[in-house]
């Protein structure tokens, strides 16, 4: 079982790393292009007619004629071949032509080698990589950003953000976008050891059944790892006097109750899964809801934070965040192109 679990984790990590290099924005209008049958143009080569044109067969006709006719046929055949060949006085003699071509080839090779060396030397002098820290940070930022720059247009129904760039129109679910941003923040915070606690003026008490209290007492140290410190308080009840500082204000009781409920529902305590579900739950509650209107500067800040996230295409629950309509799709919907 342990090897199967390690194999599953290895396959999952490889698949996640492969998708991290892709842009996974779904297209708004998926249309399947109809494949047109390929038309093959039939043609006929006509050049061979001139090459295979029958020439006057004078020599063959001499077989049936006398000696005089044969000599006359040979002369006519020589004159016919001489007419086919180009004028010998206009051609360069073979020896001169070969020497001239060889000299030209040597000159061209020497010139090409010199020009190549000069070009390589110039490239070495002019093109030099920028090794400054600022340039390195810029390259890293460009490589890590999997979403192109987006410029806000406005909001629709206080729920969806409309943005644009040179590639078309983007529709962003503002709740899912901030949920992704908050999830990555809480995921890192929950994974850290809770060293900084916030004392509460009024402690919070929790009551559970006897069976639930037994299970909580058995795995109480697992809750302490995520910063939930439970103290026995009377019969079948616990009290909490502090909480991690990264808890959203006003959500302390709900968060602690949800963590305890997760612990009770699990057959075994999986700290990794417990932290994962806690981060998802906290990000969902701390995110902006539907019908919440934003200013343009708030929209731009949300889009910039989304571009900096590690997985900006889906929320923690798997729902898409961005839908893209290309310029061609927009023009096709309005029949501007076919």
- Indicate whether 95 pLDDT > 60: no
Q: Please name the residue that has the structure tokens 């990000």.
A: 283
Q: Is the pLDDT confidence value at 6 over 60? A: yes
Mean predicted lDDT score pLDDT of the chain: 74
Task: Write down the pLDDT at residue 119.
Answer: 44
Q: What sign results for the dihedral spanned by CA atoms 260, 264, 268, 272?
A: negative
CA nearest to 248, candidates 205, 220, 222, 281: 281
7: tokens are 């194999």
Percent of the chain at pLDDT > 90 equals 31
Cβ atoms of 243 and 252 within 8 Å: the answer is: yes
Kindly report, residue by residue over 283-319, the tens digit of the pLDDT.
888 888 888 999 999 999 999 999 999 989 999 999 9
User: Using DSSP, how many helices (H) and how many strands (E) does the chain show?
Assistant: 13, 7
Q: What is the pLDDT of residue 2?
A: 63
Judge whether residue 142 has pLDDT over 50: no
Q: Worst-scoring range by mean pLDDT, 97-101, 274-278, 304-308?
A: 97-101
Q: Give the C-alpha separation, 324 to 306, whole Å.
A: 15
Count the residues in the chain: 338
pLDDT, tens only, 193-211: 556 888 999 999 999 999 9
How many Cβ atoms from other residues are within 10 Å of residue 106's Cβ?
A: 10
Domains of the chain, each with CATH number or no CATH: 151-182+289-334 (3.30.1540.20), 194-286 (3.30.1370.100)
Q: How far apart are CA 313 and CA 21, in angstroms?
A: 12
Where are the strands (E) in the chain, listed by range? Answer: 151-156, 160-165, 168-173, 197-207, 231-232, 237-244, 322-326
User: Please, which pLDDT band fits residue 323 given cuts at 50, 70 and 90?
Assistant: very high
Using one digit for the tens of pLDDT, what is the confidence trace for 33-76?
A: 566 666 666 655 555 445 444 545 444 544 455 555 456 555 65
DSSP 334: T
Indicate the pTM of the whole model.
Answer: 0.53
Q: How much is the pLDDT for 332?
A: 92
Show the CA angle centred on residue 42, arms to residues 39 and 47, nearest 5°.
150
């Amino acid at each position: 079982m342990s090897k199967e679990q390690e194999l599953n984790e290895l396959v999952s990590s490889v698949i996640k790393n492969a998708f991290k290099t892709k842009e996974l924005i779904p297209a708004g209008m998926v249309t399947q292009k109809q494949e047109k049958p390929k038309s093959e143009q039939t043609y006929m080569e006509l050049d061979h007619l001139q090459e295979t044109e029958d020439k006057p067969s004078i020599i063959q006709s001499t077989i049936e004629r006398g000696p005089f006719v044969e000599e006359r046929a040979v002369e006519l055949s020589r004159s016919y071949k001489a007419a086919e060949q180009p004028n010998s006085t206009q051609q360069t003699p073979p020896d001169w032509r070969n020497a001239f071509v060889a000299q030209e080839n040597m000159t061209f090779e020497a010139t090409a080698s010199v020009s190549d060396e000069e070009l390589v030397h110039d490239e070495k002098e002019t093109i030099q990589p920028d090794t400054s820290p600022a340039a390195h940070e810029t390259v890293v930022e460009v490589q890590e950003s999997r979403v192109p720059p987006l410029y806000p247009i406005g909001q629709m129904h206080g729920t969806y953000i409309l943005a644009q760039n040179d590639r078309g129109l983007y529709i962003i679910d503002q709740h899912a976008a901030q949920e992704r941003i908050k999830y990555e923040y809480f995921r890192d915070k929950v994974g850290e050891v809770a060293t900084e606690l916030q004392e509460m003026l009024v402690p919070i008490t929790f009551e559970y059944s006897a069976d639930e209290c037994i299970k909580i007492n058995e795995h109480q140290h697992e809750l302490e790892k995520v910063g939930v410190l439970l103290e026995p308080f009377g019969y079948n009840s616990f009290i909490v006097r502090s909480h991690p500082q990264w808890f959203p204000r006003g959500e302390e009781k709900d968060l602690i109750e949800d963590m305890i409920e997760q612990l009770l529902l699990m057959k075994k305590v999986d700290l990794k899964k417990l932290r994962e579900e806690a981060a998802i739950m906290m990000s969902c509650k701390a995110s902006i809801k539907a019908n919440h209107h934003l200013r343009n500067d708030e929209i731009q800040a949300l889009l910039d934070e989304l571009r900096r996230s590690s997985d900006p295409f889906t929320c923690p629950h798997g729902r898409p965040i961005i839908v893209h309509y290309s310029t061609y799709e927009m023009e096709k919907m309005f029949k501007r192109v076919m």
